[in-house]
Structure 1
Amino acid sequence: MTRRKPIKGEEFLPTREEILAFIAENPGKAGKREIGKAFGVKSGSAKIALKHMLRDMSQEGLLTKSRKKLTKTGDLPSVFVATIFGRDKDGELLGRPVRWEDHKGEPPVVLVVPERHRKDAQPGVGDRALVRLASGESGPEATQLVRVIKLLDHKQSDILGVVRLSGEGRPARLVPIDRKQKELAIDPDGMKDAKDGDLVSVDVGRAGRYGVPMARVRECIGSMNSEKAISMIAIHAHGIPHVFPRSVIEESEAVEEATTKGREDWRELPLITIDPADAKDHDDAVYAQADTSPDNEGGHVVTVAIADVAAYVTPGSALDAEAHLRGNSVYFPDRVIPMLPERISNNLCSLREGENRPAMAVRMIFDQDGKKLSHSFHRVLMRSAAKLSYEQAQAAIDGQTDDKTGPLLEPILTPLWDAYAALKRGRAAREPLELDLPERKILLKPDGTVDRVHVPARLDAHKLIEECMIQANVSAAETLEEKKTPLLYRVHDASSPEKLEALRDFLSTLDIKLPKAGNLRPAHFNGILNRVVDTPHAGIVNEVVLRSQSQAEYSPANIGHFGLNLRRYGHFTSPIRRYADLIVHRGLIRALGFGKDGLPESVEPKLEAIGSEISATERRAMAAERDTKDRLIAHWLVDHVGAQFAGRIAGVVKTGMFVRLDDSGADGFVPASTIGQDYYHYDEKTHALVGRSTGETYQLGDKVQVRLVEAAPLAGALRFEILSDGTKRKPGGPKGRGKPPMRQGKRSSSAQRKGQRKGTR
């Protein structure tokens, strides 16, 4: 070992070995000052000598300087950006530093631990995060443990766009999907056979000091004219995993079909599936009969059977890890990105008519008023007696049977509807939030383009299945609570005071009062909704009430479900497409002794993080589905630029207003700078744009006529020009509304509008 070098009197410089040891013991905390203090370096000459020594060690590659702190070359700084790339065998997140160019060898693997007290989104695989070194066990697959400081946006290189050729001798351009990003030049050597009009993802290379960054094609997704291009934009833009790893596919192909071993044989019970006509998988089946018990006159026994995904997707398997990563299936108009491979989701766990399938079933007993008296869970082997569509089942009940439903009407369908009549009474007594928001469905042509947009009828058949599933979910949560088994609840908090105040302000413009007293219940909101039924304001009031609600999420801590007005609620009914349901199934298997493939105890401490992750993947899926619908409709309306449409104002902001078209449900923007000659300011309380001179007002919910000015398919954006005059505001009260008058001689060209005031200031 090198001896300490004397400087003056009794002062000594530390040896190189001592400096390296000190830095290793104090990762990210050792700068020149800290080293000098630790080794008693006080005099000016000694400090200069130490400075030279540290400089020499840096030049020799022994030390690396970061943020005025020193680390051993090859060591991690105290704070750095990490990319989360996977999980260890216990399901914990693993990451690597984003930058490692200045070090030799492969970047180290770190164990990424979320901060439990943080209320924002938790990290997941594929995220980038600012992390700090922390003490603790890192496990065998990682070198150190880090804690998340902040989740970061996707790196700049994660850009999706369309290739546009620029002519001979000039590099191709990338037109980004996100219009906030600038166009990029594509390196001619990095085209990867991409052609003009192809959708590609690119990496952005470094440029010189005065150079322009050049992009290189990472993946060529295909022509924008292909039927799947629109949904692929959303898949890539939102980072949705859509290709199963080979290990997952191989594992799914290797699983063996379940038998009656360890199960009750329910194959003779005539359970049936009722689903959309185009459904590819069937994960729930139902059956009902009158309760013959003399103590429950007029009561019903309702059975719900759910595909037993836990039989094939076991804890710690590759299938389980991939399902956890995806969190849920994602549904687009032209395709589905499933949570599980097709052999599991569309075959072994699809309750096909006439085929043996494993299931988790709950048998529930209700009285004549729809109150649940008891329930019991069973692990069974079943055989679906029939596959029906919602429309087919409803038609049979309405007296229009076919060859299939005719024999099923009296023994199966009629008892189901009798039971539903009781469940409806129970639901009415419970008074959940009853929003009326018709869901528009996009119908596609064979070439993948939009044929039309329509609103499917809301049938009793839909409501019957929905209420059966809700009761099954409640039963699952009750059983797991009773057995003291951990679970992920589906929780929905009450509205925040800020959202309620905004709702109160809007409703006041319609002469509707929202009680200020605390402890609002769903019934209060239902009273408001009932007041606007069959009025021109019904749609917008339902939507504003929806906006005032909190977002449902998954959590091991139960706060109840406000919207459904239930004290405890857990998702049990769709383990094919939701990871939360699979966790509930495993909890029931463990709690009721149904097998060895139940919920492992090692998962319990991770349930909070898992709940945050799958809540985030759910929000990601919703955003991707919404973006895809917007882009499809924008593509559809490209040929309708200049056409006029009827709609309603669906949102108001300082810079303009959003208008939703009546026929298609498409949303577009009207910039405030294009609304006539007046100066419009934003009235936040009334959700309105108000003309300063004229008092002309455009308010949330108003009926308007608009002209389509621009359709941007890549961004899924529409721009409208307002054709209707606003209404005159009445001081001290709500403004009148009626049929919107049309603007006469509306100036529409950009040249004519040059004199208009811009913005809302």
Structure 2
Amino acid sequence: MPSSRVVRVRTDDRDVVATLRRGIEQVQAELEVTPQFPPDVQAAAEAAAAAPRLPELDRTDVPFVTIDPDGARDLDQALHIARDPDTAGGYVVLYAIADVAAFVTPGDPVDVEAHRRGQTLYGADSKVPLHPPVLSEEAASLLPDQVRPALLWTIKVDETGEGTDVEVVRARVRSTAQLTYEQAQAAIDGGDAPEVLVLLKELGEKRLARDAARGGVSLPLPEQEVDTTDGSGPWRLEFRTLLPVEEWNAQISLLTGFGAASLMVYARVGLLRTLPSPDPRDLQRLHRTARALGVDWPAEQLYPDFIRSLDPTRPDHAAVVVASARLLRGSGYVAFDGEVPAEPQHSALASEYAHVTAPLRRLADRYAGEVCVALCAGDPVPDWVLAALPTLPEEMRTSGQKASSYERAVVDLVEAGLLAARVGETFDGVVVSVDDKDDRRGKVMAREVGVEAPVTSSVALPLGQDVRVRLVEADVDTRTVRFELAG
């Protein structure tokens, strides 16, 4: 489940496409990022794509499937689930993760460029990839009916959904089907799904229950889609509620991250994804915000349970979800070799956790995966991995900031385009935040268009109250949307 806003664009309108393309090019120029790669990097990637290092172990007998958004090409993960013949009610999860190290050599041009980029940047169907597409969307991607090198995780899970054993090895794999979330959900709902999807639902629901019992938190922000496909009017921004299969699929990735963290913590070497506990003052502030918005939060209800009770398609609930993001600030990575970090946990997951399931899109995953492969084989962690560990947290912090800026800028661009022809109109809204230093400034959620933007007033803004606001600015070039209190 995403913890940042996702906006997708569906359009056949050439003017809309041109506007978005110009705006996104401007964002990329401002942030000094580009989808293109230097010639030496592209050449090295093409050479690597033609000569992958395939492992000896052959698991192409396993009928893996991938489940991703429609149109995805950078497929990091392929899944297979079966019942465990040795444990009543248990499961065996086989999770194949793209093996970037089968193509990229430490210090080669592709590796150097990946360290400079850190991660793939996403925004409204635009992408600045971590690796050249000849690798990330072709040779290294777990596309259907193709033999690929992979890190193959085997995770045993008991009847309650708790992982009991984990191992990862290098293997050749082959996906047999590339499913979209919609296809997978339709098959499950229709009662004709293959066993892997039936078990994904069964295990995913158990993992979600364990997540709730453990006190895990995942912000339920829905995706938003800008739809201009019929060309008959202004842009429309519509919420798309996440399908259950997306949550179940995410639970398999989390299960793998927990297993990877357990291996590294036990061996006292690796790279963890961390998040400090929320500041009590931020919790108090969120209580006040919920009360001002009229969202019921019983005194005895814990924060994780409260977040799970929210419906993000409701503007008042969505405003609380957005406000609660303050409690998840401070996420990062910590590298260690010899001693476990003093604060190793990811507080939102209530456990130690590691990123290992998206190496095509995130630099850190390649290194954490290599640590786990070495530990499971009883081999020393490679020197090139140990040498890189100390600098990875800062590289990921820097690239993470750039990713957030890119996502935010593209969302601003889309919202400005959505409203550009409606300046002067009034909208129903709810004030979702008020500036601590000036109570005449804040943020409003305009219900009709699903846009949250700055609002000003000549009097104190009424936090949590319904208001009428007038759109006074929607500038695509500056990506600015601004309202003022009407009346």
TM-score range, shorter chain: 0.7 to 0.9
Which one is further off, 345-354 or 553-562? 553-562
1:130-149 CA distances to partner (integer Å, 9 max, x unpaired)? xxxxxxxxxxxxxxxxxxxx
2:304 to 516, 526, 529: 526
Q: How does 1:410-425 map to 2 (within 5 A)?
A: 410-425=194-209
Structure with greater helix share of residues: 2
* 2:468 aligned partner: 705
**Separation (CA, whole Å) in 2 of partners of 1:430 and 1:335:** 36
How has the CA–CA distance of structure 1 residues 645 and 252 changed in structure 2, closer, same or farther, with 3 Å as cutoff?
same
Equivalent AA in structure 2 for residue 244 of structure 1: F
1:252-306 CA distances to partner (integer Å, 9 max, x unpaired)? 111155678533211110110011112122111111111111xx21111111111
**Separation (CA, whole Å) in 1 of partners of 2:177 and 2:305:** 40
Unaligned runs of 5+ in 1: 1-223, 401-405, 516-522, 674-679, 682-688, 690-697, 724-745, 747-761
* 2:100 aligned partner: 309
* 2:81 aligned partner: 288
How many angstroms does 1:361 deviate by?
A: 1.3
1:438 to 212, 222, 227: 222
Q: How does 1:54-453 map to 2 (within 5 A)?
A: 225=18, 227-255=20-48, 257=50, 262-293=55-86, 296-399=87-190, 409-443=193-227, 451-453=235-237
**Separation (CA, whole Å) in 1 of partners of 2:415 and 2:373:** 45
Q: Is the 8 A contact 1:443 1:450 kept in 2?
A: no
2:425 to 643, 652, 657: 643
Q: Is the 8 A contact 2:94 2:152 kept in 1?
A: yes
TM-score (norm 1): 0.56
How has the CA–CA distance of structure 1 residues 660 and 607 changed in structure 2, closer, same or farther, with 3 Å as cutoff?
same
Equivalent AA in structure 2 for residue 478 of structure 1: S
Q: Determine which structure has more spread, i.e. the larger CA radius of gyration.
A: 1
Unaligned runs of 5+ in 2: 1-16, 336-340
How has the CA–CA distance of structure 1 residues 450 and 502 changed in structure 2, closer, same or farther, with 3 Å as cutoff?
same
Equivalent AA in structure 1 for residue 416 of structure 2: A
Tell me the secondary structure at the aligned position of residue 570 of structure 1. coil
Q: Is the 8 A contact 2:235 2:417 kept in 1?
A: no
Equivalent AA in structure 2 for residue 342 of structure 1: P
Q: Is the 8 A contact 1:334 1:444 kept in 2?
A: no
**Separation (CA, whole Å) in 2 of partners of 1:420 and 1:532:** 20
**Separation (CA, whole Å) in 2 of partners of 1:502 and 1:722:** 24
Name the structure, 1 or 2, with higher relative contact order (CA <8 Å, separation 6+): 2
Identity among equivalent pairs (%) = 28
**Separation (CA, whole Å) in 1 of partners of 2:421 and 2:274:** 44
**Separation (CA, whole Å) in 2 of partners of 1:647 and 1:438:** 19
**Separation (CA, whole Å) in 2 of partners of 1:528 and 1:419:** 24
1:204-254 CA distances to partner (integer Å, 9 max, x unpaired)? xxxxxxxxxxxxxxxxxxxx9554211122212122244311111111111
Q: Is the 8 A contact 1:354 1:385 kept in 2?
A: yes
**Separation (CA, whole Å) in 1 of partners of 2:45 and 2:315:** 52
* 2:6 aligned partner: none
1:469 to 247, 253, 258: 253
Equivalent AA in structure 1 for residue 454 of structure 2: F
How many angstroms does 1:647 deviate by?
A: 2.2
2:364 to 562, 567, 580: 580
Q: Is the 8 A contact 1:494 1:550 kept in 2?
A: no
Tell me the secondary structure at the aligned position of residue 264 of structure 1. coil
* 1:624 aligned partner: 406
1:492 to 275, 299, 306: 275
Q: CA RMSD in A?
A: 2.9
1:63-90 CA distances to partner (integer Å, 9 max, x unpaired)? xxxxxxxxxxxxxxxxxxxxxxxxxxxx
How has the CA–CA distance of structure 1 residues 442 and 278 changed in structure 2, closer, same or farther, with 3 Å as cutoff?
farther
Q: Is the 8 A contact 1:258 1:357 kept in 2?
A: no
- Residue 719 of structure 1 pairs with residue 482 of structure 2: yes
How has the CA–CA distance of structure 1 residues 316 and 590 changed in structure 2, closer, same or farther, with 3 Å as cutoff?
farther
Q: Is the 8 A contact 1:450 1:633 kept in 2?
A: no
1:632-687 CA distances to partner (integer Å, 9 max, x unpaired)? 221231111222222221221214122122243323332223xxxxxx35xxxxxx
Q: Is the 8 A contact 1:306 1:361 kept in 2?
A: yes
Equivalent AA in structure 1 for residue 322 of structure 2: E
TM-score (norm 2): 0.86
Tell me the secondary structure at the aligned position of residue 495 of structure 1. coil
Q: Is the 8 A contact 1:315 1:600 kept in 2?
A: no
How has the CA–CA distance of structure 1 residues 261 and 721 changed in structure 2, closer, same or farther, with 3 Å as cutoff?
closer
**Separation (CA, whole Å) in 2 of partners of 1:450 and 1:490:** 42
**Separation (CA, whole Å) in 1 of partners of 2:333 and 2:367:** 11
Q: Is the 8 A contact 1:288 1:419 kept in 2?
A: no
How many angstroms does 1:533 deviate by?
A: 6.2
Equivalent pairs counted in the alignment come to 459
Tell me the secondary structure at the aligned position of residue 577 of structure 1. coil
**Separation (CA, whole Å) in 2 of partners of 1:603 and 1:413:** 36
Equivalent AA in structure 2 for residue 665 of structure 1: G
**Separation (CA, whole Å) in 1 of partners of 2:322 and 2:382:** 42
